Structure 1
Amino acid sequence: MKALRDSGAEIAINMIPGSSEQATAFYANACLEAGVAFVNATPIRIASDPEWAKKFEERGVPLIGDDLQDQLGSTILHRNILQLLVARGVKVDKSYQLDVGGGAESLDSHYRGRMRKRQVKTSAISQDLPYEAPLVAGSSDYVPFLKNARESYFYVYGRQFGGAPVVIDIRMEVTDGPNAGPILLDAIRAAKLALKREVGGALESISAYGFKMPPKATTMYKAERWVEEFLLGKRKS
């Protein structure tokens, strides 16, 4: 905490391994005590935990999270596919998303945080279906030779007009590291704006837009509107 204060830092980003629950809580509390805005990129519940959110609001410290969503990662692509099908009147019967990678996050997800990540990703994509359907999303394996690459596989089965079947089968490959950059920059800008406006607590707009497990979940299109309203001062958080 003293190091944070002495450094003059205004915003801290938590990007430690996703299974480090105690360490994440430690850093969140340090930021809370030091008055430093906290961006939680891990799947540990901080911004989406009402108790943590209340503490940050009472101290007037901005809080953003949880679990960073990449600029073009598997979750955001899957969500947009489902949104498109719903908008075009296709009934989605079932879908899965499986990720394999060679980076540190894939290693941690595979050996320690697989079920947590699966729950978070599945919950995130379910926000875009207005009805219940069997959905599975998450990291399935760690492949060392992929290094900083991540491969994702998507399968969607649905029915269109007259009950005619629709099958979507897609493979996507991205470089993991740079994929987080644009969303983190958006989160930093939002945190800085909240500091200037003296707004504390969980920032619902940017959290819903850039994170898989926000305090208030919504569709991607609505989250974009929330961010615009926040930037224009029409929305508090």
Structure 2
Amino acid sequence: MIPNTPSSPYQLLRVHQDDKVLRVELHSPDTGNALNDAMLDELLDVLGSAAVSDCRALVLSGAGADFCAGADRSELRDGLVHDPSGSSTMASLDKGRRVCEALETLPVPTIARLHGRVIGAGLVLAVNCDLRIAADTAEFRMPELYVRLVPAWGGGLARLIELGGESRILELMLTGTKFTAAYARQLDLVQRVEAAADVDRAISDLWLRRLLHCPPEAVHLTKRLFAQHRRSGRGASTALLDAAILTGQIRTTLG
């Protein structure tokens, strides 16, 4: 558990900084840390603050049994019931895109600490972190089609294809197959897999100890170079189109 600072304004996150490492924990264990509008607002605030803080690395984790069980689907559907125009749902989906973009462009390295279920939007959140480590018991899935949604949250499809390859990601999405941390490693969706009891030690010994010795300016510039390379390979962003497609598709399922 990551302790919250006494003055923290957050309800759905636990945020703590020690030794230049900002630790951000999704903290809605009863929902599997499902990503809802309020949690995305808090993530945007934390990441915006981190961009101008003195932290040198950020570790993103989840409270309870799971890292993240995906987007809050009921909130997305309820948003269209109360606002049939879809503008509020589009705004919520755009927050997901902005969170992912903030993780990708943060000046300091970001580490996703994965355990339990890593599902749908939770996986998209993770792959937008620079470094990703999973407990060997973690379970991954992209079930959007099986819950009557399209895989468009956060504009993450391009990143998943970039890492895992088009054919294998398509297969996992079309079948909704659960897959292990070992297979996630084969797909480069994570860089390391460790026994659950060893994950925190590995983060500290293999990554944080070394990152904290690197010149911050060089780390920032390196991240910018990688981000520019990824974007040049992807071409024009389709994130806004993805959000429009997902909004229209949710509306259709209400009929």
TM-score when normalising by structure 1: 0.30
Q: Which of 1 and 2 has higher RCO (CA within 8 Å, sep 6+)? A: 1
Q: Which has the larger radius of gyration?
A: 1
TM-score when normalising by structure 2: 0.28
